[in-house]
A = this chain, B = another copy of it.
């Protein structure tokens, strides 16, 4: 006798209301930038109190589905989700999984290599001159000995993001966001420990030259070498750190989500 319990109030009023509004947005009943009723009106319409409505709205705000403003022309509006926001969300979620030990850095490294590799293949034919210029600029910067370690790491991130952007596929950028960002703390750790900047810059240069020549194979090969060095150095760093008990002490620095509501 399998009884259906799903219709009951298993999840709290606020949750149910949040779901209803979310569904309305997804179904298109509420369009982007459309203002939904005031909290009082919503409370009356759902036959609950204003705090309950507010909790529902806060849940949606946490997912960046709505934004709120005070004042006569204020209210709650449907938010247009941007790719940048979604990327950040995915990066945060992935970083959380890593810090909880649900994802191994090895798996992430492999995924990053595979995805960046196919980005190389696509970028070899699709890259624009402007993107090549950005890469060249970053390589030049990475060879500046006066650059701080922190700025060097930032430059490394920008280089790889430009590589992925050169594939000209937003969906691919989205899929790659998580693995790029959540591997970066480990990359930073290595660079801080060994300061092997010249090697990194040279491999970036090799990759860049291959893209200039539209040489997909060359670019993929350069990337493979880059990732190999990274993996090797990371393992060395881990062994050298002499704390094998806590292999994932790397703390994600990428939180800092831009707030706007």
Interface residues in chain A, defined as those with a beta carbon under 8 Å from any beta carbon in chain B: 10-12, 14-15, 18, 22-23, 26-28, 32, 51, 54-55, 58-63, 65, 80-83, 86, 89-90, 93-97, 99-100, 102-104, 107-108, 110-111, 114-115, 118, 122, 169-172, 174-176, 178-179, 251-252, 255, 259, 261
Please report the C-alpha to C-alpha distance between residue A122 and residue B114 in the assembled complex, in whole angstroms. Answer: 10
Please report the C-alpha to C-alpha distance between residue A104 and residue B171 in the assembled complex, in whole angstroms. Answer: 8
| B residues in contact with A90, CB < 8 Å | 90, 93, 178
Q: Are B107 and A172 in contact (CB under 8 A)?
A: yes
A31 to chain B, nearest CB (A): 10
Please report the C-alpha to C-alpha distance between residue A170 and residue B111 in the assembled complex, in whole angstroms. Answer: 9
**Of B22, B54, B118, the contact of A114 (CB 8 Å cutoff):** B118
Q: Are B111 and A97 in contact (CB under 8 A)?
A: no
Q: Are B107 and A169 in contact (CB under 8 A)?
A: yes
Please report the C-alpha to C-alpha distance between residue A255 and residue B111 in the assembled complex, in whole angstroms. Answer: 26
Q: Are A172 and B114 in contact (CB under 8 A)?
A: yes
Chain B, Cβ-Cβ closest to A176:
B175
| B residues in contact with A15, CB < 8 Å | 259, 261
Tell which of A61, A86, A114 has the most Cβ of chain B within 10 Å: A114
A26-B255, A58-B62 provided; 4 other pairs, C-beta below 8 A? A51-B54, A81-B97, A81-B102, A111-B169
Chain B, Cβ-Cβ closest to A253:
B26
Q: Are B174 and A27 in contact (CB under 8 A)?
A: no
Please report the C-alpha to C-alpha distance between residue A252 and residue B58 in the assembled complex, in whole angstroms. Answer: 23
Please report the C-alpha to C-alpha distance between residue A14 and residue B54 in the assembled complex, in whole angstroms. Answer: 12
- Asked if A93 meets B110 with Cβ closer than 8 Å, knowing A11-B261, A259-B10, the reply is no
| B residues in contact with A27, CB < 8 Å | 251
Please report the C-alpha to C-alpha distance between residue A115 and residue B179 in the assembled complex, in whole angstroms. Answer: 14
A190 to chain B, nearest CB (A): 19
- Asked if A172 meets B58 with Cβ closer than 8 Å, knowing A11-B261, A26-B251, A102-B82, the reply is no
| B residues in contact with A96, CB < 8 Å | 26, 65, 81, 86
Q: Are B83 and A97 in contact (CB under 8 A)?
A: yes
**Of B10, B59, B111, B171, the contact of A61 (CB 8 Å cutoff):** B59
Per CB-CB distance, the 3 closest pairs between chain A and chain B, nearest first, are A59-B62, A62-B62, A111-B171
Q: Are B18 and A170 in contact (CB under 8 A)?
A: no
| B residues in contact with A93, CB < 8 Å | 81, 86, 89-90
Please report the C-alpha to C-alpha distance between residue A114 and residue B54 in the assembled complex, in whole angstroms. Answer: 43
A68 to chain B, nearest CB (A): 9
